[in-house]
Structure 1
Amino acid sequence: MRLLQLSTIIALCLLLIDAQSVHAQVKVATPYSVPSELAPLLKFFQERRVLYQNEDKPLVLPLLFAEDNTRVGMNFKIVMGDKPLGLLKREMVLKNPFAASSFPLSYSIIYQAHLVTLFEPGNFACYNIKTLARNQLLEKQLNKRKFQYHWLLGNQLVGLSGGQYWVQSSVGTWVPYTKPVPFLSKQPKLFEDEHYLSFPTCNGEFGGEVYFYNKQTGQYYLTGATCPNSIIKRNGQYQVLASLGHGGGSSRLQIINAPAKLTRMPPRAKPSPADLVLPEHRQKEVALRVENQTLFYYYGIQMFGSFLHKDQQLFVVRWTDRTFLATVKNHTITIVDPLFNRSLYTHQPVTTSYGPNLSLMNMDFYGLAREKEVSCMLLAGNQIVRIDWGKKRDANF
């Protein structure tokens, strides 16, 4: 009997030792502590009850949402970050200094460390990107002619005036621009490198395209993208981000390794509007998207733009009536900055990189000014400035 009791005690001791060993090997999860910078955003999501896939199954922070039953697109998760970027943010209103019309004639650009905006009646307004103060000396230099549209092409300021293209010379005068201007119409540039100049088209739920114009051969290439808003080139690959607001929203990031392998436009000086709806292109659109490597394709979420900040790729994301900055890795969307803690909406935005930690996001709103820019967001260094043209607007304009 005593031997039986002794053996039982030894067995219990061994079990206790084994249990302690297992416990020592298991790391106890630290409860999520929301950073103060992200707290208002989390509070909004909590109030909107988006922390629950259904009322009976609450998700554990930092998880906000998990799509695991999608029929179209890919599954994804949204989580709160634990290390906010700490970006400085401000908002301001700038007005047309030359006329009563509020909105620019073309999308603003960055030129010679200035935000350069073209207003009616065809004059340039120039704002220092660090102080946003007007540079009237630069304005005087540029406003020797009246312009209808402008671009930055090959780091040169190019404008359309009187049916002719002009370029700002190295000595500060306007001279005729003799290189091709490949745009199909008055439309913004999406991206440019030494090989290609890219621009978007968008027909809403009917689809859109991203065009690559070969600067050496003059040939146009395109592929389906609904609707393209930014291109980042990394490791020789072109990452095209596209997003649409219809049907709850969608976002797709695809890699194009070789634009010359895309659909080639007819060999003429410049495509005509009829070329935008080539039957063979529409038939091949799905195949083209499969051929191009798709990094992600999500429904129920919009991504208005993408840019690099300290070598980290960030996305301007709109979800559940809030717009914020996030990273995307392994189909996990991690919120890293609340932006302005409200919803910002736009239909056909364009985000352009102008160098390390310097990007500009142009924002239109169709119901207010059709395709014209109504706001822009300047991302310079550790600062984000959102500018409304004419007057301050609410979250969704």
Structure 2
Amino acid sequence: MRKLSYVLLLLSLISCKNKSSVFEVKINHVSKNIIDELKHLKEEETNFSGLLYKDEKYEVRKSCSGEWGGTVYFKNRQNNVIHYAAATCPVSVNKINGKYYVSNSLAHMQGFSEILEISDPEKMEITKKIPVYHPDIITREYESESTLGTKKILDTTRVLIISSFVYNKKLYSIISGIDGTKTTISELKNNRFETVTELPEKIFYSEPIIVKKAENDLELYFQHPQKGIMKLHDNKIQITYYEK
């Protein structure tokens, strides 16, 4: 009996070891200056524009006042009515099966992250305007305190969500420890993060510039402590380090 148990355990370990990751990660190095890539970016196409998501019905924007709060805004593109709710601070908005998922993160003190589920933005509170967004502009007088129409499905500390994306109708997040030493791609599963793929350490020690081309097509430009670009398309991840 003991021998059988040992064999079953061994087979289990072999199976786990041979189990391939959902994502394929490739890393390379180039002798180029990252500035040459950054100067071709248009601010309105990046996360620094304040625009997080757009579909046929809504344009979704953000504001953030750090520890004083943040807000996510859903502007109805048909009637221009703006719905909003508290979200500190939005980094990504994704849509799966008709529901919107707002990923929030803040690197204040020990750092925290949360994910909100919004089934119907029309049930959120209404506001008259969206404040001009700029990382250096404090907008706390406008920040919403309402949770109407939102449902918090994940709440964690010492973890920062860099960005979230959709693959095979599942929500994945690129997350990093507050000290930046561990970076992973993790799946939202049973209201918690489950690590799927580990990435190199200290990629996103500071906030990257993000260009979102589609739900499953991202480019993340990082500059500290190392410089490079992480490109994600479907389940393929290419990390290129720039060494000039």
- For normalisation by structure 1, the TM-score amounts to 0.49
Counterpart pick for 2:73 among 207, 211, 214: 211
For residues 92-131 of structure 1, give each alpha carbon's deviation from its aligned partner in whole angstroms, at most 9, with x where no partner exists. 45547xxxx55735xxxxxxxxxxx43xxxxxxxxxxxxx
The 3-state SS of whatever aligns with 2:45 is strand
1:104 aligns with 2:41: no
Separation in 2 of the partners of 1:263 and 1:290?
Answer: 6
Counterpart pick for 2:150 among 259, 269, 292: 292
8 Å CA contact 2:105, 2:112 repeated in 1: yes
8 Å CA contact 1:305, 1:361 repeated in 2: no
Find runs of 4+ consecutive structure 1 residues off by over 6 angstroms. none
Shift of 1:233: 0.8
Shift of 1:196: 0.8
Mean CA deviation greater in 190-199 or 338-347: 338-347
1:379 aligns with 2:242: no
Question: What runs of 5+ residues in structure 2 fail to find an aligned partner?
Answer: none
The 3-state SS of whatever aligns with 1:260 is helix
Alignment of 1:75-154 (within 5 A): 83-93=20-30, 95=33, 102=36, 104=38, 117-118=40-41, 149-151=43-45
8 Å CA contact 1:322, 1:344 repeated in 2: no
State the structure with more CA Rg: 1
1:314 aligns with 2:172: yes
8 Å CA contact 1:221, 1:259 repeated in 2: yes
Separation in 2 of the partners of 1:253 and 1:305?
Answer: 11
Separation in 2 of the partners of 1:214 and 1:256?
Answer: 14
The 3-state SS of whatever aligns with 2:207 is coil
Shift of 1:214: 1.8
Separation in 2 of the partners of 1:348 and 1:226?
Answer: 18
Counterpart pick for 2:214 among 332, 354, 365: 354
Counterpart pick for 1:252 among 99, 102, 114: 114
The residue aligned with 2:53 is 191
Separation in 1 of the partners of 2:141 and 2:203?
Answer: 37
AA aligned opposite 2:184 = F
The residue aligned with 2:205 is 345
- 1:340–1:208: structure 2 CA closer, same or farther, 3 Å change rule? same
The residue aligned with 1:133 is none
- For normalisation by structure 2, the TM-score amounts to 0.74
- 1:278–1:205: structure 2 CA closer, same or farther, 3 Å change rule? closer
AA aligned opposite 1:377 = M
Question: What runs of 5+ residues in structure 1 fail to find an aligned partner?
Answer: 1-19, 38-81, 106-116, 119-147, 153-185, 369-373
- 1:350–1:220: structure 2 CA closer, same or farther, 3 Å change rule? farther
- 1:275–1:197: structure 2 CA closer, same or farther, 3 Å change rule? farther
The 3-state SS of whatever aligns with 1:205 is helix
AA aligned opposite 2:169 = D
8 Å CA contact 1:87, 1:382 repeated in 2: yes
The 3-state SS of whatever aligns with 2:85 is strand
Counterpart pick for 2:62 among 190, 194, 200: 200
Shift of 1:277: 3.4
The residue aligned with 1:79 is none
The 3-state SS of whatever aligns with 2:38 is coil
Counterpart pick for 1:333 among 170, 193, 210: 193
Question: Of Structure 1 and Structure 2, which has the larger fraction of its residues in strand?
Answer: 2
Separation in 1 of the partners of 2:59 and 2:222?
Answer: 22
Question: Of Structure 1 and Structure 2, which has the larger fraction of its residues in helix?
Answer: 1
Alignment of 1:20-31 (within 5 A): 30=9
